[in-house]
Amino acid sequence: MAKSITAEQWAGLQMPPDADTFPKLMKRNYLKWGDKRVAYRHKDYGYWLEFTWKDYYERVKWLCGGFISMGFKPGDRVSIVGENAPEWFWGQLAAQSAGGASVGLYTDSTPSELQFVIDHSDSVIVMADDQEQVDKILSIREQLPKVKKVVFWDARGMWDYDDEWLQAFDDVMEMGQQYEKEHPGFFEELIDKTRGDDVGVVLYTSGTTGLPKGPLVSYDNLLSLYNGWDATLPWYGTDENLSFLPPAWIGEQIFTVAPNLAKGVVVNFIEEPETVREDIREVAPRVMLFGARNWEMYCSLVMAKMIDSSAMKKLIYNMFLPVGYRVSDFEQERKKVGWLWRLLYKIGYHAVFRALVDKVGFSKTRVPITAGAALAPDNFAFLRAIGIPVAQGYGATEVSGLDVVQLHPEYFRYEGSGQPFAGVEVRINEEGEILLGGVGVVHGYYKRPDKTAEAFKDGYFYTGDGGSMDDEGELYIIDRVKDMMTLRSGEKFSPTYIEGKLKFSPYIKDAWAIGGGDKDYVTAVLNMDFENTGRWAEMNHLVYTSHPDLSQKERVAELMAKEVERVNRTLPEKVRVKRFLVLHKDFDPDESELTRTRKLRRSFLEKRYDYLVNGLYSEEDTVNVESTITYRDGHSSVMRVPVRVNTMW
């Protein structure tokens, strides 16, 4: 099945030649608004600092001049690692204005992960946030022969660093000002040379299997896809945005950088990662993109708040939540909502839901969107029931972001991912794999011709996801084709679907469903939500000393068994979870158990925890887990934890 783009649609998605790149849009906004309009706000020590388009333009210009002074040339790359801040995006625009591209890095990457991306991308300059990131770069210095300079923008703790390889951000700006004096008009000339088909960003995929790959994303890709979004779910120049998603993720490029440059949407930067909730509530962004994991955490947060609330609030909540679910069911079934249900929901919204939505900062959000992974139907239905009309989106970095989305708030399916934008083509091949084509398809992977030939064929990106489309053009994602499992009996199931339903519990942070090959039944490894389960333990007078200790309590096992049973009631009998265990720790991206976007690395988990899997399919009721703990002084010790195996027979 496919949706083809017409010549008229393609033309409508293209930017005019004088505004077909990010640098040209920046220049246009500077000439149009100058000091009259705010481009960025950055919160520092509780106060919002404002930067106009003149401030924005001048800082990018001087940074660009500084890069050139350090040897940056057209076609070069700048790798950037740090928390969301104006400097991150100034660095990106400076590299792009000089005819190069930026390479996004995740702040929690290990030195070895940073080394691979920086070196593989041929970056000649690295921009780093603070001392922590600089220290990681210094630890791999010998493995980065192409890097000429490391520029840091937060100088706290850096005063005693005496190394010519390191350059302070302010010093680079001074170099740029001097370069401008010696080469007047250089910046405008460089910007005018940029073209829509130039590669603007290289955003390495998270690498669920094998090494990360670097899709080459052009301005045409980014702006055409942005325009498709804007035509259906428009941004307005008066909108406020909040930058908190990793800039190394394509979602931040489409939902923060593009609307800021194309429409003048004000970008507000969070103060710290720990203040995201407070900053969201203060800014109240009109368009909000969250990864599925973020939405799952918010569902858990809301449910945890209700567990801690007064008896009266619980009574009102439990009375009206079924009303919210019923109204949401009517809407997704395309049925008219009767006046009585509308009245009851209105009462419930004002009595309880409005306060909940305001507490999590979505009271003014016009378009809440989920992406990055499929949001479980339970979470989707819950959010809509309490008054957050979340829309599901689907896409990939290789197609420049989200290409498919539930286009209208009143048009949705709990398990659907929406319809393709104008300019996007969707096909399902004979193997059931989803193919995406059209305006977003990137140039391929950098220096990976074998992987490019494997994933990009005849103008389509082969996503590796299994799915289907209904007669109305709604796309349904089943699971990764390679992740679908078959029991010995021949019964097929989606582990991701089961994991999503398990994570709907406020007490389960993550889940890993197991059962392929010669297995007779499904089992699961659960990560306990320590904060919420700890709160439950205190309310129920259960004494514990640590995360490992609490996770293995018998009453916690009983609590988790109730959550597994809740999920089992919704599953076919043959694929219900028969045995499970609660791991003594969380899955950790630093240990390669998760990707940087918090997706399970299944093949790695299967190898690392093969003894846990064997224990789940044995007669044993405990499995001994060994963990190596490395202390700050360098010495390590082995911790042995007996993990309880629970049976649901």
Model confidence over 531-570: pLDDT tens digits? 999 999 998 999 999 999 999 999 999 999 999 999 999 8
With 0-12 / 13-18 / 19 or more C-beta atoms within 10 angstroms meaning exposed / middle / buried, residue 4 is exposed
Assigned token pair, 546: 């640590």
Residues in Cβ contact with 555 at an 8 Å cutoff, skipping those fewer than 6 apart:
537, 540, 542
| Residue 445 DSSP code | B
| Residue 212 DSSP code | -
CA 105 to CA 207: how far, in whole Å? 13
What kind and span of H or E run contains 639? strand 636-647
Per-residue pLDDT, 630: 52
Q: What percent of the chain has pLDDT over 70?
A: 94
CA 46 to CA 33: how far, in whole Å? 27
Residue (of 600, 584, 602) closest to 642 by Cα position:
584
One fold for both 17-195+237-281 and 289-482?
Answer: yes
Q: Which fold has domain 289-482?
A: Rossmann fold (3.40.50)
Give the burial string for 367-399 (b: 16+ CB within 10 Å, else e): bbbbbbbbbbbbbbbbbbbbbbbbbbbbbbbbb
Per-residue pLDDT, 527: 96
At 209, the pLDDT band (50, 70, 90 cuts) reads low
CA dihedral 354, 355, 358, 360 (to 10 degrees): -110
Across 449-467, average pLDDT? 91
Per-residue pLDDT, 406: 65
Taken in order 169, 172, 178, 183, the sign of the CA dihedral is: negative
What string of DSSP letters covers 534-574? HHHHHHTT---SSHHHHHT-HHHHHHHHHHHHHHHTTS-GG
Q: Where are the beta strands (DSSP E) in 108-191?
A: 123-128, 149-152, 166-168
Q: What percent of the chain has pLDDT over 90?
A: 53
Assigned token pair, 632: 């700050």
Q: Give the least confident one: 10-24, 85-99, 408-422, 426-440.
A: 408-422
Per-residue pLDDT, 2: 42
At 636, the pLDDT band (50, 70, 90 cuts) reads low
Per-residue pLDDT, 410: 60
For residue range 397-430, list pLDDT tens digits in order. 898 877 677 665 566 777 778 788 777 889 998 8
Per-residue pLDDT, 200: 96
Per-residue pLDDT, 470: 82
CA 346 to CA 449: how far, in whole Å? 56
Taken in order 598, 604, 605, 609, the sign of the CA dihedral is: negative
Q: Any idea where the domains of the chain sit in the sequence?
A: 17-195+237-281, 289-482, 484-647
Say whether pLDDT at 294 is over 70.
yes
CA 451 to CA 44: how far, in whole Å? 43
Orientation of helix 339-348 relative to helix 311-332, angle to 10°: 140
Across 574-587, average pLDDT? 94
At 7, the pLDDT band (50, 70, 90 cuts) reads very low
Per-residue pLDDT, 5: 46
Across 347-352, average pLDDT? 92
CA 576 to CA 61: how far, in whole Å? 59
For the stretch 134-138, contacts whose Cβ atoms lie closer than 8 Å and that sit 24 or more positions apart, written own/partner, are 134/158, 134/161, 134/166, 136/109, 136/110, 136/111, 137/81, 137/111, 138/163
H helix intervals, 401-512: 449-455, 495-502
With 0-12 / 13-18 / 19 or more C-beta atoms within 10 angstroms meaning exposed / middle / buried, residue 82 is buried
Tokens 């010790």: give the residue: 637
Say whether pLDDT at 84 is over 90.
yes
Helix (H, G, I), strand (E, B) or coil at 115: helix
What string of DSSP letters covers 569-614? TTS-GGGSEEEEEEESS---GGGTSB-TT--B-HHHHHHHTHHHHH
CA 483 to CA 513: how far, in whole Å? 11
CA 408 to CA 389: how far, in whole Å? 10
Task: Let me know: does 648 contact 568? Beta carbons within 8 Å.
Answer: yes
Per-residue pLDDT, 1: 42
At 25, the pLDDT band (50, 70, 90 cuts) reads very high
What kind and span of H or E run contains 303? helix 292-308
For the stretch 541-546, contacts whose Cβ atoms lie closer than 8 Å and that sit 24 or more positions apart, written own/partner, are none
Per-residue pLDDT, 3: 47
406 vs 445, higher pLDDT: 445
Give the burial string for 418-450 (b: 16+ CB within 10 Å, else e): bbbbbbbbbbbeeeebbbbbbbbbbbbbbebee
Give the burial string for 230-255 (b: 16+ CB within 10 Å, else e): beebebeeebbbbbbbbbbbbbbbbb
CATH superfamily for 484-647 is ANL, C-terminal domain (3.30.300.30)
Per-residue pLDDT, 454: 92
Which one of 3.40.50.12780, 1.20.210.10, 3.30.1490.100, 3.40.50.300 gives the CATH number of domain 17-195+237-281? 3.40.50.12780
Average pLDDT, the chain: 88
CA 456 to CA 475: how far, in whole Å? 20
With 0-12 / 13-18 / 19 or more C-beta atoms within 10 angstroms meaning exposed / middle / buried, residue 112 is exposed
Amino acid at 185: G
At 12, the pLDDT band (50, 70, 90 cuts) reads low
Q: Give the least confident one: 31-45, 205-219, 447-461, 482-496.
A: 205-219
38-44 β-sheet, strand order = 47-52, 38-44, 266-269, 240-243
CA 167 to CA 78: how far, in whole Å? 14
For residue range 156-176, list pLDDT tens digits in order. 888 889 899 999 999 999 999
Residue (of 332, 254, 306, 257) closest to 91 by Cα position:
257
Q: Give the least confident one: 150-159, 236-245, 286-295, 538-547.
A: 286-295
Assigned token pair, 586: 């969380």
Give the burial string for 276-311 (b: 16+ CB within 10 Å, else e): bbebbeebebbbbbbbbbbbbbbbbbbbbbbeeeee
36 vs 404, higher pLDDT: 36
For residue range 353-406, list pLDDT tens digits in order. 998 888 778 888 888 888 877 788 888 889 999 998 888 888 888 988 776 776
Per-residue pLDDT, 8: 53
Q: Give the least confident one: 492-506, 575-589, 632-646.
A: 632-646
